[in-house]
Amino acid sequence: MKVVLSTLNAKYIHTSLAIRCLKAFSEKDFDIELAEFTIKDPVMNIVSDLFQRKPDVIGFSCYIWNIEETIKVIDILKKVMPEVKIVLGGPEVSYDTEYWMKRVNNIDFIVIGEGEETFHHLLQEIEGAGKYHFVYGVAYRKGEELIMMPGRPKLDLNELPSPYRFVEDVPELAKRVVYFETSRGCPFSCQFCLSSIEVGVRYFDIERTKSDILYLIEQGAKLIKFVDRTFNIKRDYAMEMFEFLIANHNGCTFQFEITADIMRPEVLDYLAEHAPPGVFRFEIGVQSTNDPTNELVKRRQNFTKLSRTVTKIKESGNIDQHLDLIAGLPLEDYDTFRKTFNDVFALGPEELQLGFLKMLRGTGLRIDAEKYQYTYMDHAPYEILSSDKLTFDDIVRLKRLEDVLEKYWNAHRMDYTLNYLLYNEFQSPFDFFQEFGNYWEAQGWQKIGHQLEDLFTHLQAFLMDRQTPRMNVVLGLMKLDYFLNHKYKPRKIWWDFTMNKDQMSSHIRHAIQQPEDFSTEFVELKLNDKELHKHTVMEELPFRLDKILAGEPLTASEGRSLLLVAYQQNEQQKPIFFTTALSPEGAAM
């Protein structure tokens, strides 16, 4: 019997862990292939691929982001392959299972919850006597009747075969995100999260985990994302894993979900001293800083301790942090969410993800939706439309904010410009992103694509429309950010370049004859006349750039400066910028 396990991923770079676990458990007894697609692949292309594999059974791993597209694929598959058995599993169909069996008549079976043993037993019965009433943890049809079998006990994780060592995965490892679990379960009870339903945490043997990670690194993996709900819940376990990964990373990057307010000081001290730059990334779910909200959704969180952890990690400069917020939680209105946003933004995360509450099947908040007057989408992703505290208009406004937050802050296209604007020209970061988001939509820009230059000209148009003060400083910082967005010397700029050839020649002579005026690092580059022409750009700025970047008062930035950006001068091939003060006439001071 031939079995194809499939999932529709969000992106091509992601690998599905769930279907690999199923294959690892059952491949000794069945011919199993993996077939991964994305939600953007045309449905007919997916159906054609699966059809040509001639399977007897097709299993789909289902989540809120792929269930609707998966259903489209299933409906066509059953028309062209009516004899094929369709099996669904995953978090989206493990709750309200009866609903899915009734809604989609082309589903033959649903595997509920942890799937390895259940799926294997189901395949044995499909191939054999068809005694599905012996298969615990499965839903199936018996004529017109729906049968829901009781669940089965949790597996002993150390009896599961490794899902990370398939030979066919090796050629793609360096190009894809490898999802990896060291544990299953969650110790917390957050009422908006499916993890709250599964009680307790179980761990895989740590030596086996290390062995699998070493194998992946040796085979070329470049990014391993741990899917553990709280990687640091056991201090000793987390510490041993951090030490192991630091000793063996070989250029691989590791991403973890951590709970910041329980991170022990000794772990933080160790990471600050030993973590190599860029090897670790932490994802931290803050969600809300509104205490009544956190208490209601059973989210235990000490924001003071969380802030200390995030700040210490940031000060080490070695670990990027991605902080998550959820708009629409109970008791959180537009104004309290503004405070939540500004509280978290003040911590300076490299990324701030703004998500909107989703009423996931099986969660406490979905069960209590009427209590808080929630309206939400009927189909996945079940995103809220309004509540007793947040109107639909509020949500639309926050969507505008989210759009520019992603394009500007999280994309890191204008770090110097934004850090100046947020704390010098706007009341708060929230107000900047909200005001810019409103302007963005009013211009109709959300309907079209944008080149890098467009993002700069759009920001300039917004700032000028609101008559932002000190635009000379803002535009100077925008020019710096624009230059830093290029790997090679840019061929075009989005502003009118005013420096003439004589001025340029004068600045180049100065850079050659007095490189120490720029910095010791510039002296060490030892650039000659030809290299300066080929690999650098220069711009005169009507303020002291060095004073602005040092965070000195705006009054201290009066004067002029020369900005010089050099390209292709380091192993990372990242641009390096230098600045020196100019006299009012334009000569170096």
Q: What are phi and psi of 202, to 5 degrees?
A: -115, 140
Q: Which CATH code, of 3.90.380.10, 3.40.50.280, 3.30.465.10, 3.40.50.9100, is assigned to 2-149?
A: 3.40.50.280
Rounded Cα–Cα distance for residues 567 and 537 (Å): 9
Would 2-149 and 164-389 be classified into the same CATH topology? Answer: no
Q: Is pLDDT above 80 for 284?
A: yes
Amino acid (1-letter code) at residue 214? L
Q: Do 55 and 84 meet the contact criterion of CB atoms below 8 Å apart?
A: yes
Q: Which residues, 6+ apart, have CB-to-CB distance to 191 below 8 Å? A: 296, 297, 298, 299, 363, 364, 365, 368
Q: What percent of the chain clears pLDDT 70, i.e. is strictly above it?
A: 99
d(CA 430, CA 366): 29
Considering Cα of 289, then 291, then 292, then 295, what sign does the dihedral take? positive
Instruction: Tell me the two tokens of residue 243.
Output: 């030490």
Each residue's pLDDT tens digit, 38-58: 999 999 999 999 999 999 999
Sheet with 351-356, side-by-side order of all strands: 177-180, 223-226, 253-258, 280-287, 320-327, 351-356
Tell me the pLDDT tens digit for each residue of 215-247: 999 999 999 999 998 999 999 999 999 999 999
CA distance 116 to 138: 12
pLDDT of residue 200: 84
Q: Bridge-partner residues for 565, per DSSP?
A: 537, 577
The helix/strand count (H/E) of the chain reads as: 21, 20
DSSP code at position 157: G
Which pTM was predicted?
Answer: 0.93
Q: Which DSSP string corresponds to 248-306?
A: H-TT-EEEEEE-GGG--HHHHHHHHHHPPTTTEEEEEEEE---HHHHHHTT----HHHH
- For 138, 259, 271, 282, 545, the CA distances from 274, given in Å and listed in that order, are 47, 20, 5, 16, 33
> Where does 164-389 sit in CATH, by number?
3.20.20.70
Domain boundaries, the chain: 2-149, 164-389, 391-469, 489-582
Per residue in 57-85, pLDDT (tens digit) is 999 999 999 999 999 999 999 999 999 99
In tens, the pLDDT along 490-521 reads: 989 999 988 899 999 999 999 999 999 999 99
Q: Yes or no: say if 7 and 66 are a contact pair by the CB < 8 Å rule.
A: yes
Q: What is the spatial distance between Cα 128 and Cα 149, in angstroms, rounded to a whole number?
A: 19
